[in-house]
Structure 1
Amino acid sequence: MSLGTERGFADLLAKGASRDDGVDMRAGQIVCACPASLPRAGVTDNRLTLAMGFGLAVLAQALALTVLPEESRLLAPTIERVGWPFALLLVGAALASFPAALLVDGFGRRAAFGLGASLGAAGGALAAFSIAKANFFGLCLGAFWLGLAQGFALFYRHIAAQSAPRDGLVVLAGGAGAALFAPFLVSLAATPGATLLLASGLHIGALALSIRMPHMIAGAAIANKCRVDARFLLATTAGAIAWSVMSAGMLHGPLTLAVCAATPAFIGGAMGWHLLSMYGPSALAARRPELFPPTAALGAGLAVLAAGWTAVHSGASVAGVAAGLIAIGVGWGVVNIGALRLLHEGARPSRAALAFHDLCLLGAAAAGALIA
Structure 2
Amino acid sequence: MTQSTFSGAGRRNAGLLSGLQALGGANPALVVALGGLVGQQLASNPEYATLPVSLFNLGMAIGILPAAFFMRRLGRRNAYFLGALLGICGGLTAYLGITISSFVIFSLGTILAGFYSSYVQNYRFAAADSVSPEWRPKAISWVMLGGLAAAIVGTQIILFTRDLWPATPFAATFLAQAGLAALAIPLISLLRSDAIQSASVHTSTSTGRSLWEISKNPRFIIAVVTGMVSYSLMSFMMTASPLAMIGCGHSVRDSTLGVQWHILSMFAPSFVTSMLINRFGKISITLLGIVLIGAASFAALAGLSVTHFWTSLILLGVGWNFSFIGATTLVTDCYRPEETSRVQAFNDFLIFGSVALSSFSSGKLLAKQGWNGINVWTFPIVGVVSLALIWLAWHERQHKNTPAA
**1:319-358 correspondence runs (5 A):** 319-345=307-333, 347-348=335-336, 349-358=339-348
Q: Does 1:88 align with 2:55?
A: yes
Aligned partner of 1:212 in structure 2 is 190
Aligned partner of 1:359 in structure 2 is 349
Q: Structure 2 CA distance, aligned partners of 1:215 and 1:341? A: 22
Q: Which of 144, 149, 164 matches 2:111?
A: 144
- Cα RMSD of the aligned pairs, angstroms, is 2.3
* CA contact 1:49–1:209 (8 Å) conserved in 2: yes
* CA contact 2:286–2:327 (8 Å) conserved in 1: yes
Aligned partner of 1:225 in structure 2 is 208
* CA contact 1:256–1:315 (8 Å) conserved in 2: no
Q: Which of 170, 173, 181 matches 2:142?
A: 170
Q: Does 1:74 align with 2:41?
A: yes
Which TM-score applies when normalising by structure 2? Answer: 0.76
Which stretch shifts more, 145-154 or 123-132?
A: 123-132
Aligned partner of 2:384 in structure 1 is none
- 1:260 positional shift: 2.3
Amino acid at match of 2:89: A
Aligned partner of 1:303 in structure 2 is 291
Q: Structure 2 CA distance, aligned partners of 1:365 and 1:220? A: 25
- 1:189 positional shift: 1.5
Q: Structure 2 CA distance, aligned partners of 1:315 and 1:88? A: 30
Evaluate the alpha carbon distance shift between residue 197 and residue 292 of structure 1 in structure 2; reply closer, same or farther with a 3 A threshold. Answer: farther
Aligned to 1:262, the other structure's residue is in SS state coil
Amino acid at match of 2:25: V
Amino acid at match of 2:294: A
Which stretch shifts more, 249-258 or 259-268?
A: 259-268
Report % sequence identity. Answer: 27
* CA contact 2:277–2:326 (8 Å) conserved in 1: no
Q: Does 1:369 align with 2:359?
A: yes
- Greater Rg by CA: 1
Aligned partner of 2:372 in structure 1 is none
Aligned to 1:67, the other structure's residue is in SS state helix
Evaluate the alpha carbon distance shift between residue 43 and residue 285 of structure 1 in structure 2; reply closer, same or farther with a 3 A threshold. Answer: closer
* CA contact 1:45–1:217 (8 Å) conserved in 2: no
Amino acid at match of 2:292: V
Q: Structure 1 CA distance, aligned partners of 2:196 and 2:152? A: 34
Aligned partner of 2:401 in structure 1 is none
Q: Does 1:196 align with 2:168?
A: no
- 1:219 positional shift: 8.1
Amino acid at match of 1:66: A
* CA contact 1:285–1:291 (8 Å) conserved in 2: no
Q: Structure 1 CA distance, aligned partners of 2:30 and 2:313? A: 16
Q: Does 1:155 align with 2:133?
A: no
Unmatched segments (≥5 aa) in structure 1: 1-40
Q: Does 1:266 align with 2:254?
A: yes
* CA contact 2:289–2:318 (8 Å) conserved in 1: yes
* CA contact 1:253–1:322 (8 Å) conserved in 2: no
Q: Which of 240, 248, 263 matches 2:228?
A: 240
Evaluate the alpha carbon distance shift between residue 297 and residue 245 of structure 1 in structure 2; reply closer, same or farther with a 3 A threshold. Answer: same
* CA contact 1:249–1:312 (8 Å) conserved in 2: no
Q: Structure 2 CA distance, aligned partners of 1:152 and 1:53? A: 11
Evaluate the alpha carbon distance shift between residue 219 and residue 265 of structure 1 in structure 2; reply closer, same or farther with a 3 A threshold. Answer: closer
- 1:249 positional shift: 1.0
Evaluate the alpha carbon distance shift between residue 346 and residue 83 of structure 1 in structure 2; reply closer, same or farther with a 3 A threshold. Answer: closer
- 1:313 positional shift: 6.2
Which stretch shifts more, 259-268 or 243-252?
A: 259-268
Q: Structure 2 CA distance, aligned partners of 1:218 and 1:44? A: 11
Aligned partner of 2:241 in structure 1 is 253
Amino acid at match of 1:360: L
- 1:357 positional shift: 0.4
- 1:59 positional shift: 1.7
Q: Structure 2 CA distance, aligned partners of 1:122 and 1:312? A: 36
- 1:337 positional shift: 1.6
Structure 1 stretches of 4+ with a deviation exceeding 6 A read 41-45
Amino acid at match of 2:65: F
Evaluate the alpha carbon distance shift between residue 216 and residue 290 of structure 1 in structure 2; reply closer, same or farther with a 3 A threshold. Answer: closer
Q: Structure 1 CA distance, aligned partners of 2:141 and 2:47? A: 38
Which stretch shifts more, 309-318 or 321-330?
A: 309-318
* CA contact 2:87–2:115 (8 Å) conserved in 1: yes
Aligned partner of 1:122 in structure 2 is 89
- 1:310 positional shift: 4.2
* CA contact 2:53–2:110 (8 Å) conserved in 1: yes
Amino acid at match of 2:176: L
* CA contact 2:59–2:111 (8 Å) conserved in 1: yes
**1:36-55 correspondence runs (5 A):** 46-55=13-22
Aligned partner of 2:380 in structure 1 is none
* CA contact 1:236–1:357 (8 Å) conserved in 2: yes
- 1:171 positional shift: 0.8
Aligned partner of 1:16 in structure 2 is none
- Deviations along 1:288-334, one digit per CA (max 9) or x if unpaired, are 54245211122211111122134446762222112111111111111
Amino acid at match of 1:190: R
